[in-house]
Amino acid sequence: MATTVYEWDTINLVDGTIIEISPLKIKYLREFMDIFEFVKLSQDDDEAMRWMAECARVAMKQFYPQIKTIDDLEDNMDLPTIYKILDVAGGIKIKNNSEAPVTDDAIEGGDTWDTLDLAKLEAEVFLLGIWKDYNDLETSLSMTELTTTVTSKREQDYDQKKFLAAIQGVNLDEENDDSTGNEWEEMKARVFSGGKAANSKDIVALQGFEAQQAGFGIGLGLDYQDLR
């Protein structure tokens, strides 16, 4: 089976309309995550739910622009659908049957956005010369697409340097310091696991695109249970 960069899913509106959803492009993810901060700070579940609905409304800018207001959102979808949008679009998992407050799930699930040096990653990819400006880049790429592109670019750059060094009799594989690469692997692990992976060796980091590259992992014959 061919590998994919990210997973996608569908939701059904009240009128039967089927909408395909996927990880948000960075332009919309920025607004989504800014609003999600208010979910974490909510005083009770009612307030948290209002902010989660606002996150879903932002996601609809990408998936179904006809939904423009919270009233539009509430007229067209139920709570489980909103939870599904938060999961697929923003990587935020809210437990439907959990007795814990919604804000507890929010604090646990949304802790990776601020840890990323997004400007540095975008600057690196922008050098490919494909996008006219950074707004164009953020409208075109999701975070998983961005990190996958950066990974491929770094591997390509290293292969070119290794070839040029080999011509001069230098083996970069023997002389290369892994510290920078390890830091990059740790960052990817946090992104692909939704902040749950302690490091790049943690099994929860091996899912989605990373699992498909390895040939096994979560969703590919392997599952796990979060006992926290």
pLDDT at 197 (0 to 100):
59
Q: In whole angstroms, what is the distance from residue 221 CA to residue 212 CA?
A: 11
| Residues in CB range of 44: below 8 A, 6 or more apart | 101
pLDDT band with cut points at 50, 70 and 90 for residue 194: low
| Residues in CB range of 61: below 8 A, 6 or more apart | 28
Report pLDDT digits (tens) over 70-91: 999 999 999 999 999 999 999 8
pLDDT at 118 (0 to 100):
85
Given a cut of 90, whether residue 98 has pLDDT beyond it is no
Given a cut of 60, whether residue 111 has pLDDT beyond it is no
Report pLDDT digits (tens) over 1-55: 556 666 789 999 999 999 999 999 999 999 999 999 898 888 888 998 999 999 9
pLDDT at 100 (0 to 100):
59
> Exposure pattern of 160-172 as b/e (b: 16+ CB <10 Å)?
eeeeeeeeeeeee
pLDDT band with cut points at 50, 70 and 90 for residue 183: low
Average pLDDT score over the chain:
78
Q: Report which of residues 105 and 152 the model is more confident about.
A: 152
Delimit the domains of the chain by residue range. Answer: 9-113, 115-222
pLDDT at 182 (0 to 100):
62
pLDDT at 138 (0 to 100):
95
Q: In whole angstroms, what is the distance from residue 114 CA to residue 74 CA?
A: 30
C-alpha 110, offset from chain centre: 11
Given a cut of 50, whether residue 123 has pLDDT beyond it is yes
100 CB burial (10 A radius; 0-12, 13-18, 19+): exposed
- Does this model's pTM top 0.75? My answer is no
204 CB burial (10 A radius; 0-12, 13-18, 19+): middle
pLDDT at 184 (0 to 100):
62
